Amino acid sequence: MRERVVAQSVTERGRRRAQALEPFHDFERVRREQAATAAVRELVASADLHVLPAIETEELTERAAIGTPLSAAELRAVSDAVGASAAAYNKTREQPGEALAAITAPYRPLKDLQRAITDAIDERAIVLDRASPALGRIRKSLQNAQREARDRVNALVRAPKYARAIQDAVVTIRDGRFVVPVKTEFSADVPGIVHDTSSSGATLFVEPLAVLDWNNRVRTLQIDEEREIARILAQLSRETGAQATQIETNVEMLAQLDVLVAKARLAQSMDARAPELFDDAGVTVQNGRHPLLAERAVPQSLSLDEATRLMVISGPNMGGKTVALKMVGLFVLMTYAGMQVPAADGTRIGRFSRIFADIGDEQSILANASTFSAHLARMRDIFALAGPQSLVLVDEIGGGTEPSSGAALAIAMLERLLAVRACAIVTTHSTELKLFAHETQGVINASVRFDPQSFAPTFHLDVGTPGQSLAFPLARSLGLGADMIGRAEELLSSRDRDYERALTELAGLNANLQQERDALQRERVHVETLQSNTRARADALERERRSFAQEAERRLQATLRGFATSLAASRGGEQVQPKVTRGQAELLQRTLDEMHRDLGMTSPGTAGASEGSAPAHRIAEGEPVRILSLAQDGVVVADNGDSVLVAIGPMKTVVPRSDLRPIAAASGRSRSQAAQTKLEAATNSAPELDVRGKRFAEAEPLVDRWIDEAVLAGNSPLRLIHGKGTGMLGRGLQEFLRAHPQVKDVRYGDENEGGGGVTIFELR
């Protein structure tokens, strides 16, 4: 697991820290490391954090600190490490909590140093012209001198008098000086200095005397350039040395974040979770998967707590007993190293001070130690230190010697572990240990499940039942002679045969029950999914039905208002109230009920049919009801869905629908009364009301009732005549209107509408 963290690290120091990763002993440190890993994983998952590669800077900063100049490549590498530290810090400083704050607290920005280096040296470790004004001038002069020297040599090469002496009409450079290739036999024709010869000796590379001064000029400028570059690097090295301590602090922070990011990426790849930490010694694994088996791992669940301290795992060879053992040990160690574990939510890791493991064959001829003696030596060391905060993992406890003696010794070891209250998981094939686990409080059996037909292991762990070694079935499946297997079964004692037979039956039954349970679990999930989809569809249909019902009711009410308007118009605008008989009202209500039924809606006139239950549907205006919380009777003015506006004498109040009960005595006439109320309100509503000469307390209920009738009839705008007088009545009524839920756009009338003695308003 350490190697996997190393593989995810990108900085040299981060990889070094990952290679040295070990579990922390301080449990509070474990909590902090787990919190830091969880915080970094959130940043990594949101793509807000990634660490840039960086070299190890320690040696470079130490050299710079004692005055040794660094090369351009080394300075640029230090600058890149400083920049990577700054980038990582900037991504983590907004993360809330103390988990990362403790890591980033020592960081200090080094912007000036980083800018000085990056302005002077590019990514290829080349010192740039802008590194200093002097370097820029030198390089410009050097380019001019090189161009002049090259031009003079080119002119000489093209001169006719040198045509037979020149090997090739090209200009080359030797030792930083421009030269021409001259045939050896004509070297006297081109006076100059020989700098090199070809491998065959047929060509001399001659610096003509005519360009000697210009070559000297080029070389002089090159020396000046080298000196200026050395001066610049020395200056940057001094600045780096002055900040050596802070550079190392920042790079150390970067390395810590690099390891945390590596842990987070590894957790993502394993679909791991942060385990819950608790102070007692114990461990609970929910659907844990061995971290090295990837997709081949079979989830396993087990628990060691105050009540169950020891677990004895039995089952066939190659069945996964040791995998379960190592999984638990790895989970605890990974948790203590700040890593998340590949398990489901609910996995808990307790406080352990020591973890002991005896797994594998340690026999050594040179050390004169057999498997059994090595096992005993290891167990001796374990018992010398094991205590209540110890986790002990032993593979094949008591194995490697005569079975009955080994079993007796193993039982004694388990009793010792129980006595010191250690947590332990052991594997065995011994029948005696299975019986011991069954009969002893604080010890539990577990077995690796196998296929009852093929006897192949499934690697699932069944806690609570012992397992079989399956020696005889496996021998049969491998083709061992039936006579030998039969003889072996005869040699078993009757007690062992009975026990093996019972285990076989129990294991087969358990395997079948587990398969049925898995099938039922899949079926339950399927049914729950279907139920969820059905509920969602039912909710959607109910919302659609309610929307349709509301729209249909609105259209019915609009039609009723239109009918009332047409009726008033047919009477020539007379203000005489038409006679509405009970038969007409009942006919209207029956017609509305039939329309509601045809549309699949519940008639508002039939809501609240029983006195003992709350009204379930719309309540008709004018229907008498009982307000339970007030113990008062009233009349419904408006049904608003979950709440209803009810008139109690001259007072109106809004009450929850559940607080209403219909009055049974009036239920026989409620329909006709509701229809008659609707029709009377629709035909009797006037567009204006005169309250002049009244006090506000007298006028307010009249205006309120008038508004209700206008809402039912669909009259708007309305004209309220209150007169001018002292203005108190008008102001009070306007305040009342502005607070009314059905009123909008309240204003005094224009001159042709009555001026300040009239209020004009519209209904919502």
Q: What DSSP string describes 5-26?
A: HHHH--BHHHHHHHHT----S-
272, 342 in Cβ contact below 8 A?
A: yes
Beta strands in 643-704 (DSSP E): 643-648, 651-656, 660-662, 688-690
Q: Check whether the bond before 717 is cis (ω within 30° of 0).
A: yes
pLDDT at 670: 47
Q: What is the distance between the alpha carbons of residues 258 and 336, in angstroms, rounded to a whole number?
A: 18
Asked if residue 582 lies in contact with residue 632, where contact means CB atoms within 8 angstroms, the answer is: no
Identify the H or E element spanning 308: none
Binning the chain into helix, strand and coil, the percentages to the nearest 5 are: 55, 15, 30
Pairing of the two strands 443-450 and 310-314: parallel
* Strands 177-183 and 172-174, sheet pairing: antiparallel
For 623, other C-beta atoms within 10 Å of its C-beta total 27
576 — pLDDT class (breaks 50, 70, 90):
very low
pLDDT at 669: 46
Query: Which CATH number applies to 688-763: 3.30.1370.110, 3.40.50.1820, 3.30.530.20, 3.10.129.10?
Result: 3.30.1370.110
Strands 758-763 and 743-748: antiparallel
Average pLDDT value for residue range 78-95: 90
| Residue bearing the bigger pLDDT, 1 or 638 | 1
Q: Is 294 left (phi over 0), alpha (psi -120 to 50) or beta?
A: left
**What's the CA gap between 719 and 758, in Å, rounded?**
7
pLDDT reported for residue 650: 58
Residue 642 CA to residue 617 CA, distance in Å, equals 10
How do beta strands 192-197 and 203-208 pair?
antiparallel
Residue with the larger pLDDT of the pair 452 and 530: 530
Domain assignments of the chain as residue spans, ordered by start: 2-110+243-270, 132-221, 276-470, 492-562, 602-683, 688-763
pLDDT tens-digit series, residues 201-213: 778 887 887 788 8
Q: Please answer whether residues 357 and 426 qualify as being in contact, where contact means their C-beta atoms are separated by less than 8 angstroms.
A: no
What residues pair up with 314 in beta bridges, in sequence order? 428, 447
The answer to whether 69 and 219 are in contact (CB under 8 A) is: no
Q: With bands split at pLDDT 50, 70 and 90, how would you rate the model's confidence at 676?
A: low
132-221 and 276-470, same CATH topology: no
DSSP 586: H
Instruction: Provide the residue type at 186 as one letter.
Output: F
How far apart (Å, rounded) are the C-alpha atoms in residues 584 and 596? 18
Provide the mean pLDDT of the chain. 82
The pLDDT assigned to 495 comes to 53
> Is the distance from CB of 401 to CB of 376 less than 8 angstroms?
no
Residue position matching structure tokens 């002119």? 155
212-216, 221-225, 618-622, 679-683: which is most confident: 221-225
Whether 665 shows a pLDDT value over 50: the answer reads no
Secondary structure of residue 77 in the 3-state scheme: helix
d(CA 506, CA 486): 22
User: Are 602 and 592 spatial neighbours (Cβ–Cβ below 8 Å)?
Assistant: no
pLDDT at 739 over 60: yes
**Architecture of 132-221 per CATH?**
Orthogonal Bundle (1.10)
147: Cα separation from own chain's centroid? 63
Of the two residues 341 and 704, the one the predictor is more confident about is 341
CA torsion sign for 624, 625, 626, 630 is negative
Listed residue (60, 65, 63, 70) closest to 234, CA to CA: 70
**183-197, 310-324, 330-344, 350-364: which is most confident:** 330-344
Residues 6+ apart with CB under 8 A from 732: 696, 700
Q: Strand 276-277's sheet: what is its strand order?
A: 276-277, 348-349, 283-288, 300-304
pLDDT tens profile 680-710: 555 556 788 888 888 887 788 888 888 877 8
pLDDT digits (tens, 9 = 90+) for 371-427: 778 888 899 999 999 999 999 999 988 887 777 888 899 999 999 999 999 999 999
Which residues, other chains included, contact 612 with Cβ-Cβ below 8 Å and sequence gap of 6+? Answer: 661
pLDDT of 431 strictly over 60:
yes
Question: How far apart (Å, rounded) are the C-alpha atoms in residues 571 and 593?
Answer: 28
State residue 638 phi and psi, 5-degree precision.
Answer: -155, 140
Residue 319 neighbours by CB under 8 Å, 6+ apart: 448, 450, 457, 459, 467
Q: What percent of the chain has a predicted confidence (pLDDT) above 70?
A: 79
CATH class of 276-470: alpha beta
* Cβ–Cβ under 8 Å, residues 350 and 332: no
The residue count for the chain: 764
pLDDT at 618: 67
